[in-house]
Copies of this chain bind each other. A is one copy, B any other.
Amino acid sequence: MEIEQYVIEKAKLAKQASRKMVTISAKDKNNALMAMADALIDNMEAIIEANLKDVNKGREKGLSEALLDRLMINKARIEDMALGLRNVASLEDPNGEVLRMWKRPNNLTIGQIRVPLGVIGIIYEARPNVTVDAAGLCLKSGNAVILKGGSEALNSNTIITNIIYEAAIKNGMPEGCIQVIETSDREAVNVLMRLNEYIDVLIPRGGAGLIQSVVKNATVPVIETGVGNCHVYVDLDGDLESAEEIIVNAKIQRPAVCNAMETLLVHKEIAGEFLPKLAKRLKGLGVKLRGCSVTQEIVKDIKPASEDDWGTEYLDLILAIKVVDSLDKALEHIYLYGTKHSEAIITNNYKNSQRFLQEVDAAAVYVNASTRFTDGSEFGFGAEIGISTQKLHARGPMGLKELTSTKYIIYGDGQIR
């Protein structure tokens, strides 16, 4: 009950803050963002000290080195966080944009304009940089934000939020605009997820477990981010040299991220020519291969791919390979196993490229390019709060615009029905 009241108070305050945020100019928000960046730099030592407590505790608890690395903050990482805030300050404020405006036969003028969502809840894992990222993007887009990070990062998140919040307040932002849930009690998340009265949207950021838990338990609307079981399909008429470069890039440039490739589909007519050379190169780069029965005939010494492999997001230097009879079979495979994230075809066949673009149901569908481009900054959005894999509200990389809603404003002169 105490926890519930604690979270509700934060949410109420956030809602009040969001009401004031609507009236604040982009200039004032930008000044606050710059001051927040300065404050991070000015308080570097204190942040590193607080973070050390988290890291030491994490080490005692036996967190993996990968997790400890994500948790760890050093001078360079604080400088990156500050740079991120300055970058967000330089972006255009999406609010106030008139999406359409028209006059009705009765002389009513109706306009649809962009407005903040209101209060955004971010639920994430032990990555303190998300705290700064999310706070900056939410503030710039005119939203109040409630941050609930992984308990392993509690000291880091608390001090970071206090520092940037103080700088924001000093620069005219409203009380409660940026808040952190300062408890590791899991009940806090349960309360947060059901506060429809105060919170307009939840964005979970993290692994599949975290996201599914929020999707299943929240009554507040959720934007689902994340899971990417991405495919590259090399078509009969694909440029094989280019295909090889794209596959190597999509698999190894950063295998642990959601837009990395997990399964390669190859047209049967070119598999014999293409796969042996590719397999050799990938193996040389440390990639473990798993193949369908046809692939195993062409490429010796690779493990068989099971049904499970087709559905797995490895996030690792592992690649499943399947030889398919046709574009239709490739489309069918992607339909059955894809997660609607990023899918690519390598082809020089016009008709097939058009069919792939139209028929593949995913946030980003590529012709002759690496799936790794599904990213806010690669798309030119300047910043990104995540990649939506749902179809409601936002799909694909989400920048500032995706953190807004719209409303209709109607200018009348006495109209009645």
Contacts and interface: CB of A to CB of B under 8 A. Distances in A.
Interface of A: 19, 22-23, 102, 104, 108, 110, 115, 117-118, 196, 200-201, 215-216, 219, 221-223, 239, 242, 245-246, 248-250, 253, 335, 357-359, 361-370, 372-374, 378-380, 390-393, 395-396, 405-417
B410 A364 contact: yes
Contact of A216 (B219, B373, B374): B219
A405 B417 contact: no
A23 B417 contact: no
Contact of A221 (B200, B369, B390): B390
Contact of A249 (B222, B362, B364, B416): B416
Nearest first, the 3 closest Cβ-Cβ pairs linking A and B are A369-B412, A249-B416, A391-B405
Nearest to A259: B417
A350 to B, nearest CB: 12
Contact of A201 (B19, B253, B380, B391): B391
B221 A196 contact: no
A415 B370 contact: yes
Contact of A415 (B115, B239, B373): B373
Copies of this polypeptide in the complex: 2
A417 B117 contact: no
A108 B412 CA distance: 45
B104 A22 contact: no
A392 B200 contact: yes
Given A216-B219, A380-B104, A410-B364, A417 B372 contact: yes
For the complex, would chain A's binding face be called helix, strand, loop or mixed by DSSP majority? mixed
Nearest to A357: B409
Contacts of A117: 391-392
A118 to B, nearest CB: 6
B221 A23 contact: no
Contacts of A363: 407-408
A379 B405 CA distance: 18
Contacts of A221: 221-222, 390, 392
21 contacts: A19-B361, A22-B358, A22-B361, A104-B379, A104-B380, A110-B379, A117-B392, A200-B392, A221-B222, A242-B414, A363-B408, A364-B408, A365-B409, A367-B410, A369-B412, A369-B413, A370-B417, A373-B410, A373-B415, A373-B417, A395-B408
A249 B417 CA distance: 7
